[in-house]
Amino acid sequence: MIVLDTNVIAELMRPQPEPAVLAWADGLVPAEVGITAMNEAEILHGLIRLPEGRRKQALLDSWQALVTALLGDRVWAFHREAAHWYGELLVRREQLGRPIATADAVIAATALAQGAQLATRNVSDFTDLGLDLINPWTHRRSPTH
């Protein structure tokens, strides 16, 4: 399974996404792709705060198309196992002296609880967490630790 981070989702919603990201996404099997509830919240926050108009409507349409074509109902909730991972990740980062944003910790914890890889452009935000990271902009996987 692969969790798409918010920056990957946002890129795929653009009128002209980065060709490398599109090429990577074309190879995905929809049944093996999902997002976390935190990713959906971040996307919805960005959409809701836009002023009414054509751009907002185009992005809302793009979001719905992405959900229909790729995500379906694969939006993973933050549950007890993810909560355990969350605590582990915060302690790990505290010990390293590298704090992690709450949203990133929730996304990482949910991905770990699902046994999923995380596709993100912000690889450095998720290093040292034990995740298998994929950067769709470079098509390379980063080390897990």
Name the binding residues for Mg(2+): 5, 104
* Radius of gyration of the chain from its Cα atoms, rounded to whole angstroms: 15
Annotated binding site: 5, 104
Alpha-carbon gap, residue 134 to 103, rounded angstroms? 18
Residue 120: phi, psi to the nearest 5? -155, 155
User: How many CB atoms are located within 10 Å of the residue 18 CB?
Assistant: 14
Q: Are 5 and 142 in contact (CB under 8 A)?
A: no
In 5-128, DSSP assigns E strands to 33-36, 75-76, 117-119
Residue with tokens 């959409």: 47
Under a CB-based contact definition with an 8 Å cutoff, are residues 118 and 134 in contact? Answer: yes
